[in-house]
Amino acid sequence: MAAQSASPNLKPFRQYDTNDVINLFAHVSGSVNAGTFVIPTVADPDAVPQGFASTSLEGTPSRAYSARPSNPWKVRTATSGELPLGVMLNDVRETNNYGERYIYRQDELGALDVILSGNSVPILTRGIVELNGFSGDPGPTSGAVMHNTVEGKLQVSASTTNRVGRFLTSSGADGYALFKIEL
């Protein structure tokens, strides 16, 4: 099967404690790659964390009622100068590479580490991951902050203000480097 991310931001290597993963928020967008750094949006504190929304799917008769899970607590992609909540561990998608809706192909979701849009996505706040999608040349112990022009990505920086973490290695030939998230 084809991978979902055109250029994946995270490799499978991940070292973390499950207590450092937050599973309470859904991303506001319907298509986001794993490895994107996110920040919570304003949410209703009284909202049910995993409610249902009535959504008519394309090609469904008007008399049909389809209740889909829809989490009202949302995160958005972090921007320059912000201190993110963490990094998404799964892709968020509505359709696969062939245009087929995942709502009808639930068997593929777990195998591809994909979360349906509107559902809660795991967000890592502390741990070690192998990532790419950053700018600059990392070296061991060089820090990183949110990129100043590309949302959700990092840039190598000596600044300690809003520091997201630090690199443990230089980037390899494939552009990936080990990164320690310290949020």
Compute the distance between CA of residue 3 and CA of residue 92 in angstroms, rounded to an integer: 13
Q: Which residue has the higher pLDDT, 122 or 54?
A: 122
Residue-averaged pLDDT of the chain: 82
Q: Does the pLDDT at position 4 exceed 50?
A: no
Confidence of residue 48 (pLDDT cuts 50, 70, 90): low
Confidence of residue 120 (pLDDT cuts 50, 70, 90): confident
Number of Cβ within a 10 Å radius of residue 151: 15
Confidence of residue 5 (pLDDT cuts 50, 70, 90): very low
Compute the distance between CA of residue 145 and CA of residue 123 in angstroms, rounded to an integer: 17
Amino acid 3: pLDDT: 38
Q: Does the pLDDT at position 27 exceed 80?
A: yes
Q: Give the position of tokens 């993963």.
A: 21
Give the mean pLDDT of 10-36. 89
Q: Report how far Cα 136 is from the mean position of its chain's Cα atoms.
A: 21
Contact 27, 73 (CB under 8 A): no
Compute the distance between CA of residue 84 and CA of residue 73 in angstroms, rounded to an integer: 16
Beta strands in the chain (DSSP E): 10-15, 21-22, 26-27, 37-40, 51-54, 67-70, 74-77, 86-88, 91-93, 114-116, 123-124, 126-131, 143-146, 154-157, 165-167, 177-182
What are the counts of helices (DSSP H) followed by strands (DSSP E) for the chain? 1, 16
Compute the distance between CA of residue 62 and CA of residue 175 in angstroms, rounded to an integer: 49
Confidence of residue 101 (pLDDT cuts 50, 70, 90): confident
